């Protein structure tokens, strides 16, 4: 696994593909502190099965695409884990900063804490 390529690709593109139990899903994300973070559920993106995989610290496949031409840049396994949103305010803030077209941006993180799951996807080394 080439962590520098993963980090660069994740920083340059704001979407990726997740290999979920329900099938491949496109998701917006943010790269923060050595991992990919996504938010799912509630009013956010529907990523069926991700929260369950993350609750068990399971593994999923992540595919990053090239921002230049949309082609696959890198594919890697990642350990998924549910993020305690209160204990990880920097990660939640990084996600909120990248959330485009949010309804009521001021209440965004409170809604996530109430209705959504934040998941950290750490590239497996």
Model pLDDT for residues 44-64, shown as the tens digit of each residue: 999 999 999 999 999 999 999
Q: What is the CATH number of the domain that holds 33?
A: 2.30.110.10
How many structural domains are present in the chain?
1
DSSP state of 57: T
Model pLDDT for residues 7-16, shown as the tens digit of each residue: 999 999 889 9
Average pLDDT over residues 5-24: 93
- Give the up-direction half-sphere exposure of residue 38: CA atoms within 13 A in the CB hemisphere: 28
Q: What pLDDT score does 1 carry? A: 66
Residue 84: which domain range?
A: 3-123
Q: What is the DSSP string of 80-103?
A: EEE--TTT-HHHHHHHHHH-TT-T
β-pairing verdict for 30-32 and 15-20:
unpaired
Q: What is the pTM of this model?
A: 0.94
């Amino acid at each position: 696994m080439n962590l520098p390529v993963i980090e660069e690709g994740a920083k340059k593109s704001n979407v990726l593909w997740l290999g979920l139990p329900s099938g491949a899903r496109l998701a917006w994300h943010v790269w923060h502190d050595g991992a990919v973070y996504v938010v799912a559920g509630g009013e956010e993106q529907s990523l069926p099965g991700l929260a369950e995989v993350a609750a068990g610290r399971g593994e999923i496949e992540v595919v990053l695409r090239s921002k230049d031409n949309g082609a696959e840049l890198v594919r890697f396994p990642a350990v998924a884990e549910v993020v305690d949103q209160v204990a990880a305010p920097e990660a939640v803030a990084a996600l909120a900063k990248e959330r485009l077209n949010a309804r009521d941006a001021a209440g965004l993180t409170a809604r996530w804490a109430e209705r959504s799951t934040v998941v950290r996807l750490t590239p497996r080394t």
